[in-house]
Amino acid sequence: MDLTTDRVRTVTWADQQAFAAAAELTGLEFLKAMARGDVPPAPMMDLIGLRLVAAAEGETVFRLLPGEFHFNPMWTVHGGVYATMLDSAAACAVHTTLPAGARFSTLDLSIRLLKAIRADTGEITVTGRVVHQGRNFAVAEARLEDSAGKLLATATAGCSITRPR
């Protein structure tokens, strides 16, 4: 990372009307379309540079290349970025299990930060997996790792599910 460059970040995002059409898709179809680029990412993903790279039944994988705009005053990635990544992976893993028209919301998120992410950490990957699936509630776990597979953080999320009538 060249720290002598201008520090400017411009964020753009797609018209979220594309999400309305996606309501006809199952959660897995929707997230696979997002991973392919057929559906735009959520604006929060654009804001922090988070990319959905894979989705399967009960599992999602996201990646992010940390930059200094993610840093806190200790010059490490802010805990809020960890939380956003972990919540995205866990909650979207739940989304992959839902039928068309169903919605979900994270009810709680418990995170454990194990290692600082610094400028030289390189690309990081977060994987979310469903560990319990009920009709109206699901639990998923997420693991955040560096490119060598070193564990950086973990999380457990509980999600409320609203199914179509």
Per-residue model confidence as pLDDT tens digits over 46-98? 999 999 999 999 999 999 999 999 999 999 999 999 999 999 999 999 999 99
Give dist(CA 144, CA 154) in Å, integer: 6
CB atoms within 10 A of CB 157: 26
pLDDT higher than threshold 90 for residue 164? no
The pTM of this model reads 0.93
pLDDT for the residue 4: 58
How far is 84 from 41, CA to CA, in rounded Å? Answer: 14
Q: For the chain, which domains are there?
A: 18-162 (3.10.129.10)
Whether residue 96 contacts residue 27, with contact meaning beta carbons closer than 8 Å, is answered with yes
Model confidence at 17, pLDDT cuts 50, 70, 90, reads: confident
Whose tokens are 């009960």? That residue is: 58
Q: How far apart are CA 137 and CA 125, in angstroms?
A: 26
The pLDDT of residue 127:
98
Taking phi first (over 0 means left), then psi (-120 to 50 degrees means alpha), and beta for anything else, what does residue 164 get? beta
Please state at what angle helix 79-95 crosses helix 27-36, rounded to 10 degrees: 130
Question: Is the separation of the CB atoms in 52 and 120 below 8 Å?
Answer: no
Q: Amino acid letter at 60?
A: T
Tokens of 52: 């959905």
Task: Report the pLDDT value the prediction gives residue 109, as an integer from 0 to 100.
Answer: 98
